[in-house]
Amino acid sequence: MRALALDLGKTTGWAYANGNLRRSSFTILPAGIRNVYPEFFNILRRMLDHEQIEEVVYEDPKFNRGFSYIPGLIALLIVVCKERDIPTFACTVQEVKKTATGKGNATKEQMRAALTSHMRGWVVDQEDAIDAAWVLEWYLQNREAT
């Protein structure tokens, strides 16, 4: 199973799993609001094809204050995955935080500390990549139920 987890936003964090191998990687920085969709589209296609991704899970914020373009990113994600017959799964912010810390209202600092203690060997200094790592962990723990 090759899974890609995404934390969508102005900076999009991602984490990747291939069997037992897990790794966290860089964030994607769209170059200006006019380029958000084309940039995300191109990077997503390259990631899916290069890593031969079989499943994608993303954090769906539902109420994204100030980030009005996130529904468009989700739509692009679903379309690109559908074209490749890759299933997509969504989880809530609260589910991710609960997976990380046991409570659905954890702070960024608590999420970082939980990642450091739970996932030895993961060196992640970007908030969005930390969230993506926990999205991946949520999916790995819950994929039988999704």
CATH of domain 2-142: 3.30.420.10
Per-residue pLDDT of the chain (146 residues; tens, 9 = 90+): 789 999 988 778 888 877 655 666 555 555 566 777 888 898 899 999 988 999 999 999 876 555 677 888 999 999 999 999 999 999 999 999 999 999 999 998 898 888 888 776 666 677 888 899 899 999 989 887 76
**Could you tell me the end-to-end alpha-carbon distance of the chain, in angstroms, rounded to an integer?**
15
Query: pTM score, two decimals?
Result: 0.86
Cα-atom radius of gyration of the chain, to the nearest Å? 14
- For 74, phi and psi rounded to 5 degrees? -65, -45
* DSSP per residue, 8-58: -SSSBEEEEEETTEEEE-PPB--SSGGGHHHHHHHHHHHHHHHTT--EEEE
